[in-house]
Chain A
């Protein structure tokens, strides 16, 4: 028996769902009109938690005082009063009857592991006792926090107070980390979220694998629409005819994994034709001559052989960008961990933008401003004696944040590592689907002494936990103020619109209760979270009461530097040379390539196709797959197959097949085929977040297949440890695989 069996169905069973609810009729699984007259109810401010764009919103109550609908806050630059489908469907998170309902603790009864319901007291005491034991034995640094979402801040405070800074989110090493590093190396600043791209005013938007419109990051989609209205040129580089590609003047159906060649060739053309912004380059950049020399041989003809993009198209699109310069954006993307040389690819993107003079210019990259929030009056955090970095001597030197995948790897004991993690606290991230190489993740989990999972839903990760804590949804709680950088600084409030359902609780309360049991009460000086917020707001001349009325406070910029380089103003960059480093001295110092190089990546073997995955506008990762409202829009994914490939394999639309990857891993569930011209013949595409294996997710279980299961081969970015996940290849199985293979 494994130390930690995956518990599929807890002892609380599935029977306890037949309770009545005013809006959802669970027996028929439908929303029924309950005669409530519409409108006229109260509204409570919140900011969205369905994705991490965090749009400020209003929760509207019906006349019975129950949560009815969500709408955007008109003043919020993230959403301009319009939520995306996921935000609108956020009510489904609250009404989902499959939610975690009570704390659970793993017990072994008659040799069989199962979850038993526990009181909050029992759960906290259990966790605190274990944490203290681990701390005594190995040090508090051996406890890590994985989080994705607002709860992470509260648990982070508790953990830092306890003595560990190993706090990580998969949004870094599995997503946008290389972008931050690539841009930081070039400009001394990262991109951040929301991205500082001035799409609204751009004349030319270049998307490389970014599928804005399917990736429904609200403000960006809105601005792209505005740009279309104003007649901006869009150039999309994607092996798939994405939604954005359909809005583009140029669609470059590139051979996957060759983007770097295209970027270098564009740089070559722009330099050789002298289409770059000469004054900008001269005034602000470092290493132009080295760059010019470096790209000398990267002609469009050279790139054609690699990318399959015709030389005249490369020239034409380069000209198109140059014509729009400086009002042009080569978009840095968001999920950029593809092939393991991603930091370098994003360096090339950063360089291209610099040559076109778009940084700090209208229609290019603006300079966001953030409001400062008063720090709480709490004791200084202890300084840990070790961090996750100690597990990777000499590696990933440019990683700016902790690596979720790194901590996972450092949990598996190895001879040359002195830092093995012993406990994970996991909040709001389903690591089974989030981290590549599931077998590795599960192996790491088996080595833990304690795993606590805090979530609203019985995601797969909860099945491996020792303790499961039911978190209430964002509609039922306060959280930290949303403080985000944008053209104008804003702060937004999240306030509860309903009491937490079942026995669920807010993360703040859980963190405080745990801190108390760990003798760290000083770090949570306020009795209630609203007191803490009220204190913070009062330091800014506001109050909780006032914020509840407006939801969002927009401030004028303190500095008039939205476009700091618009008129070639003097500027010192936060780099070694004080300039935009086309030639990166920081990279060179750490022993990495100072200029981006093209490396050829592995190609799919005969009969295999490169697995490309992405998002649907109505879902966020796997976290929305059970949301009743969003599942109603889309309840499964399909595998996109080019008609030529379909013919070769004799596949038909909606035929159910299984996918098998290069390592012999087969999907747990079949997936339907979508035969479509919208994908190249050397690749297949599927939307991430489906194929859930936990039966407690009644709407998501077994619907579609999981791309995450297929991602077993990982190409690690040497600079910052990002996990390149696009180097996996799949083939089709038309017959059900024999059981026991996976």
Chain B
């Protein structure tokens, strides 16, 4: 099993519902976030193009944060979800430095925090909160090891990219382009 997310940049309007839904669902303190939205415009007026990307932890298959963690607080569970065990985290900051996506932050309580793919929901068969709330339904969550899953089919049908694949992290958030 390999959980992954595909986000359709053609449909995303950058409304940031994913961000606020995550914050409320996961009691993320205000002023912090586990996901965020990027607006990238290129070109010169009037020849412009624009892409919105909802970004978060890429739950990398080759996760530098897990490798560099001195205490095994950062670990990978069934389905490839990268998690942080708050009771094992010493807050050294190494995993934050190691993440090319800057997806981690230090929670006011001291431990490091990040996207969990809403594992508490996924375990119940639900989608992550960001996916379920998205008004444009531009986000898809599923198992890429299963060739019949919606996400696998979508990745076969559509063109996609991942972020910084050259960093060797094997990210699992796909952007449909």
Contact = CB atoms under 8 A, between A and B. Distances in A.
A38 B15 contact: no
A253 B45 CA distance: 9
B161 to A, nearest CB: 17
Interface stretch (A177-185, A222-230, A464-472, A604-612): A222-230
Contact of A633 (B19, B41, B51): B19
A681 B45 CA distance: 9
A91 B43 contact: no
Given A31-B27, A32-B29, A677-B45, A228 B11 contact: yes
B109 to A, nearest CB: 7
Contacts of B133: 71-72, 82-83, 88
B13 A680 contact: no
Interface stretch (B66-74, B76-84, B135-143): B135-143
A84 B30 contact: no
Nearest to A218: B135
Contact of B46 (A36, A251, A618): A251
A251 B27 CA distance: 40
Interface string A637-672: 000001000000000000000000000000000000
Contacts of B17: 82-85, 88, 617
B1 interface: no
A617 B16 contact: yes
Contacts of A617: 13-17
Contacts of B11: 225, 228-229, 247
Contacts of A225: 11, 13, 135-138
A24 B24 CA distance: 11
Contacts of A85: 15-17, 19-21
Contact of B45 (A23, A84, A213, A642): A642
B122 interface: no
Contacts of B29: 28, 30-33
Interface string B44-87: 11101111100000000000000000000000000000000000
A24 B28 CA distance: 11
Contacts of B50: 241, 243, 246, 678
Main secondary structure of the interface of B (DSSP, over half): loop
Interface in A87-141: 88-89, 91
A24 B44 CA distance: 44
B160 to A, nearest CB: 16
Contact of B20 (A32, A226, A630, A681): A630
Interface in B1-32: 10-11, 13-17, 19-21, 23-25, 27-32
Nearest to B113: A33
A176 to B, nearest CB: 21
Interface residues of A, number: 57
Interface string A468-511: 00000000000000000000000000000000000000000000
B120 interface: yes
Contacts of B32: 30
Contact of A88 (B14, B24, B109): B24
B14 A243 contact: yes
B135 A84 contact: yes
Contacts of B132: 71, 82
A234 B118 CA distance: 35
A618 B109 contact: no
Given A221-B13, A243-B14, A251-B46, A32 B27 contact: yes
A39 interface: yes
Interface in A687-706: none
B18 to A, nearest CB: 8
Contacts of A79: 135
A90 to B, nearest CB: 10
B57 to A, nearest CB: 18
B165 interface: no
Interface in B106-138: 108-109, 120, 124, 132-138
Contact of A678 (B15, B25, B33, B45): B45
Given A82-B133, A218-B135, A221-B136, A28 B20 contact: no
B48 A241 contact: yes
A275 interface: no
A216 B12 CA distance: 12
A23 B26 CA distance: 12
A245 B46 CA distance: 11
Interface of B: 10-11, 13-17, 19-21, 23-25, 27-33, 41, 43-46, 48-52, 108-109, 120, 124, 132-138
Given A30-B31, A241-B45, A642-B45, 11 more contacts: A23-B27, A33-B27, A39-B124, A69-B24, A84-B135, A85-B17, A221-B136, A222-B136, A632-B20, A678-B41, A679-B45
13 contacts: A31-B28, A82-B134, A82-B137, A83-B133, A84-B17, A88-B21, A222-B137, A225-B11, A245-B48, A246-B50, A247-B10, A628-B30, A632-B23
